[in-house]
Amino acid sequence: MVETPGSCSGSGNERENGARIGVFICHCGGNISDVVDVKRVADEIGKLPGVVFSTTQMFVCSDPGQGLIEQKIKELGLNRVIVAACSPTLHQLTFRRTVARAGLNQFLFEHVNVREQVSWVTEDAEAATQKATRLIRAAVDRVKHLTPLDKRRIPIHPAALVIGGGIAGLVTARDLAQRGMKVTLVEKQPFLGGRVAQLHTLFPTGEDARDALKRVIEEVVSHELVNVITSAQILDSEGVVGDFRTRIRIEPRGANSQLRQRASAVAACPEQTINEFDYGLSQRKAIYMAYPGCYPPIPAIDWNVCTKCGKCVWAVGGRGINLAEQPREMVLHSGIIVLATGFDPYEPLYGEYGYGIFPRVITLQQLIRLLDPLGPTGGRLPRNDGEPTRIAFIHCVGARQIEGVNQRQPDGRVKDYCARTCCTGALHAALEIRRRHADVMITDFYQDIRTYGRGHEAYYEQASEAGILFVRYDPRHPPRVEGNPKGDSPLLVRTSDLLTGGLDVEMPADLVVLATGVVPHDISELVGMYHCAVGSDSFLLEVHPKLRPVELAVAGVFLAGSCQGPMDVTEACAAASAAASKAAALIAQAQVEMDPFIARVDEELCTGCQTCLTVCAYDAITRDETRGIAVVSEARCTGCGTCAATCPSNAIQQFGFNDAQVLAEVKALLQGAALG
């Protein structure tokens, strides 16, 4: 261990704005020290003005390592601490806590990355050692400009708003309630259940989807802390973490719990419309129940279809139906918000694999409805003459698309991501068909089979054993679906089979099932309202895919389920529980702690030019008309620093990243470079 108090006696420190810097360089058990000569670096750094202690450690993150930091802070009165080790994404928080334990403000700590960005990427040991020295030297100059910062603390109203009544929203609401949190669950549709209600059985367990759903709904609606609101539409939302005010509009249901003879009310209705629950495979009335055993178990009236003819009212003797019911508005007060807005199945473009042209080309979702004993056909597949004998599945429809090969979507992009659920889903359905009709011949056109989930691979094996024929197509030349000139079956699927070295395959089919991908449910108005980050795949974007997977960058807003990306039911529930626990933890703190790296306006320097007012994506900057200067709302600011780079007078500075600090880094890194 090298200790070098020499070069920086008291006076020296005064010149360095009184900084007493301790530097701890990690061997990382050789990960760093095998390449970087850490001892030499410690020596070099020890000579810098302001540095009163410089040492190396086998594992700085270990208990002895952290112990040493605390000890030296107390012993030498260190007021700045630098650790050069792995990436800050791993241990920055660890060491902040360490220095805090020793009574030093945690933001007087600086983390230098000499593993991921030095020892692991550099071959030449000498060069790596010099680079490490430069980076730490820059940190030394940077920390001289650091000031103690406090995390922002904002009180939290102990209630949660969950948006979306699908499986993810339900699970989130349940978990929150079970943790004793007050929850309001709002659903746009008149009925809960979302997409899962439209499934028949669930993989990999094969259990009945609606039974599972029913159990969750029971747990939710029976819980006294949960308030469920259906037919609810979000109008606008204001406020910040801890104190959101969300205004909603509740469409009139038309029917209420006094309605006894529900069946006759529905039967009496003369109006028919397409039943979106069956993906257009059936019709429903203007007053309807979404599905058998749906919740709430009360019919709802579709006002777009209802003519207010009154027949239903007559049929039930006027009790329980009110055609004059008016919409209501209310404001929901919550400390946090969970978005569980779900997905929509990919709707193939007209003519994509013959979709829309040939009635016998259907989507996997439609097939699942057809297989449902309670579905439009009571579980029977469409007949032509006799049971269909040949069914072709085509995978990756509206998924893993290739620019230039697949037709662009209305948004100008192609759906290049894997929808993850359709492989298993398709095989699950195919096997179901085989179980029911031993004689059906099934061909499965795929580019890759991705039955990645636990127990999912079994479907693939069973399918192969069950004699389902797999044809692998080249994604650059996807199969073509055509009408069949020969009468034996209405359709033809053509492609060349990679498995047989590109042999041309021409497969007659009575039914073509498109295993379609998934797209996020359109929530553009919510995205604007809550300043959500959205990925190029137009799913909502978490703060960090691994480290903070269920949080949005906007404090207090969480993600649950497939609004974040394609998920099967298992994953959606897991994500929902994760979101619930994160949200609950936040509420439990009673106050929220936020990183202090926010922007602040120097009132002296602000010239009132108003350039910054349009740049904040979070509307955190407003103009104080009386003083004619800009003001940053601490609670709204997410600390990106964009406004700081915008301000033409450098009047806006970002804590932790102000000009002095970053410029000090730049100049320190370039020491000596000036000599060419």
Partner 1 sequence: MSEKTDKAGGNGKLKIGMYWAASCGGCDISLLEIGPHILELIEVADVVLWPCAADFKYQDVVNYPDQFIDVCFFNGGVRNSEQEEIARLLRRKSKTLIAYGACATDGGIPALANTKTVEGIFAASYHDCPSLDNPAHVEPQPITQSEYGELEIPRFYPQVLRLSDVVEVDYQIPGCPPQAERVWEAILALVGGQLPARNSAVKVACFDKSVCDECPREKRKVKIKEFKRPHEAMAEAEWCLLEQGFICMGPATRSGCGALCVKANLPCRGCYGPSGEVQDQGAAMIGALGSILDASTEERAREMIDHIVDPVGTFYRFTMASSDLKGRR
Partner 2 sequence: MAEAHVVQQGVTPAAVGWEPRIIAFLCYWCSYTGADAAGTARLKYPPNVDIIRVMCSGRIDPELITTAFAHGADGVMVCGCHIGDCHYISGNHKTMARMPLLKRTLVDLGIEPDRFVHEWVSAAEGEKFARLVREVTERVRRLGPLGWPQRMRERGVGCGMSLEPWGA
What are the Cα distances from residue 270, in Å, to 220, 274, 283, 284, 503?
Answer: 35, 14, 12, 10, 55
Q: Based on the shown chain and the rule CB under 8 A, indicate whether residue 647 belongs to the binding site for partner 1.
A: yes
**Binding pattern to partner 2, positions 155-184, x when CB under 8 A?**
------------------------------
Residue type, 568: D
Q: Which does 649 bind (CB under 5 to 8 A by kind): partner 1, partner 2, none?
A: partner 1
**Is 541 an interacting residue with respect to partner 1 (CB under 8 A)?**
no
Minimum gap (Å) between residue 610 Cβ and partner 1 = 5
Angle at 109 between CA 38 and CA 118, to 5 degrees: 35
Tell which one of 648, 667, 670, 671 touches partner 1 (CB under 8 A).
648
Candidates 642, 657, 662, 669: give the one binding partner 1 (CB under 8 A).
642
Please give the residues from 622 up to 661 whose contact with partner 2 meets the rule CB under 8 A.
Answer: 638-642, 644-646, 654, 657, 659
- Judge contact between 216 and 223, C-beta under 8 A: no
Is residue 379 a contact residue for partner 1 (CB under 8 A)? no
Q: Which stretch binds partner 1 (CB under 8 A): 198-206, 336-344, 363-371, 647-655?
A: 647-655
Q: Does 610 bind partner 1 (CB under 8 A)?
A: yes
Tokens of 49: 């003005």
Over its C-alpha atoms, the chain yields an Rg (Å, rounded) of 31
Does residue 675 interact with partner 2 by CB under 8 A?
A: yes
Closest-CA residue to 318 (of 367, 272, 261): 261
Q: Where are the beta strands (DSSP E) in 426-525?
A: 441-446, 469-472, 480-483, 491-497, 503-509, 511-516, 518-520
Cβ atoms of 320 and 258 closer than 8 Å? yes
On whether the CB atoms of residues 243 and 636 are closer than 8 A, the answer is no
Q: Is 605 in the site for partner 1 (CB under 8 A)?
A: yes
Per rule CB under 8 A, is residue 662 in the interface with partner 2? Answer: yes
Distances (CA, A) of 188 to 17, 200, 208, 247: 59, 23, 25, 13
**Residue 493 φ/ψ, nearest 5 degrees:** -115, 125
Pick the piece of the chain touching partner 1 (CB under 8 A) from 205-213, 336-344, 347-355, 612-620.
Answer: 612-620
Q: Is 649 in the site for partner 1 (CB under 8 A)?
A: yes
Inter-residue contact 644 to 620 (CB < 8 Å): no
| Residues touching partner 2, count (CB under 8 A) | 57
Residue (575 or 651) nearer to partner 1, CB:
651
Among partner 1, partner 2, none, partner that 610 touches (CB below 5 to 8 angstroms by kind): partner 1
What is the closest distance, in whole angstroms, from the C-beta atom of residue 551 to partner 2 in the complex? 11
Burial of 426 (0-12, 13-18, 19+ CB in 10 A): buried
> What is the CA 416 to chain-centroid distance, rounded?
17
Contact 104, 79 (CB under 8 A): yes
> How many whole angstroms separate alpha carbon 304 and alpha carbon 313?
18
H helices of 26-184, where? 38-46, 63-76, 88-101, 125-143, 167-178
The Cα–Cα gap between 292 and 372 comes to 12
Residue type, 481: V
Does position 528 bind partner 1 by CB under 8 A?
no
650 contacts partner 1 (rule: CB under 8 A): yes
Given the complex with partner 2, which of 130 and 424 has the nearer CB atom? Answer: 130
Nearest residue (CB) to partner 1, 118 versus 651: 651
Q: Are 515 and 506 in contact (CB under 8 A)?
A: no
CB of 413 to partner 2, least distance (A): 10
Selected binder of partner 1 within 646, 657, 662, 669 (CB under 8 A): 646
Q: Could you tell me which stretch among 151-159, 243-251, 488-496, 608-616 binds partner 1 (CB under 8 A)?
A: 608-616
Half-sphere exposure of 397 (CA within 13 A, CB side): 30
Lay out the site mask for partner 2 across 79-108 (x = CB under 8 A, - = otherwise): --------xxx-------------------
Provide the strand spans (E) within 263-324: 272-274, 283-285, 287-288, 300-301
Q: How far is the CB of 622 from partner 1 (least distance, A)?
A: 11
Q: At its nearest, how many Å lie between partner 1 and the CB of residue 613?
A: 5
- Site stretch for partner 2 (CB under 8 A), options 57-65, 437-445, 583-591, 664-672: 664-672
Q: Is 604 in the site for partner 1 (CB under 8 A)?
A: yes
Report how many residues bind partner 1 under the rule CB under 8 A.
20
Stretch binding partner 1 (CB under 8 A), from 4-12, 154-162, 443-451, 639-647: 639-647
Least distance in angstroms from the C-beta of 658 to partner 1: 11
Q: How far is the CB of 20 from partner 2 (least distance, A)?
A: 24
Strand-strand pairing, 361-363 and 343-345: unpaired
Site for partner 1 in 324-343 (CB under 8 A): none
607 binds, among partner 1, partner 2, none (CB under 5 to 8 A by kind): partner 1
**Crossing angle of helices 125-143/38-46, nearest 10°?**
30
Q: Which two tokens stand for residue 413?
A: 């992009």
Instruction: Please say whether the beta carbons of 630 and 607 come within 8 A.
Output: no
* Long-range CB pairs of 660-667, under 8 A, 24+ apart, other chains included: 660/145, 661/142, 661/145, 661/146, 662/142, 664/138, 664/141, 664/142, 664/144, 664/145, 665/138, 665/139, 665/141, 665/142, 666/138, 667/141
Under the binding rule (CB under 8 A), the answer on residue 533 touching partner 2 is yes
Q: Is 536 in the site for partner 1 (CB under 8 A)?
A: no
Residue 648 Cβ vs partner 1, minimum distance, rounded to whole Å: 4
From the list partner 2, partner 1, none, pick the one residue 628 interacts with, judged by a Cβ distance below 5 to 8 Å according to partner type. Answer: partner 1
SS3 of residue 182 by DSSP: strand
| Of 608, 631, 634, 669, the one binding partner 1 by CB under 8 A | 608
Residue (506 or 659) nearer to partner 1, CB: 659
Does 614 bind partner 2 (CB under 8 A)? Our answer is no
Which range binds partner 1 by CB under 8 A, 150-158, 323-331, 526-534, 613-621?
613-621
- Find the shortest distance in angstroms from Cβ 211 to partner 2: 39
Tell which one of 58, 121, 235, 402 touches partner 2 (CB under 8 A): 121
Contact footprint for partner 1 (CB under 8 A)? 604-605, 607-615, 628, 642, 645-651
Contact footprint for partner 2 (CB under 8 A)? 87-89, 113, 115-118, 120-124, 127-128, 130-131, 134-135, 138, 531-536, 541, 543-545, 553, 597, 615, 617-618, 638-642, 644-646, 654, 657, 659, 662-663, 665-667, 669-670, 673-676
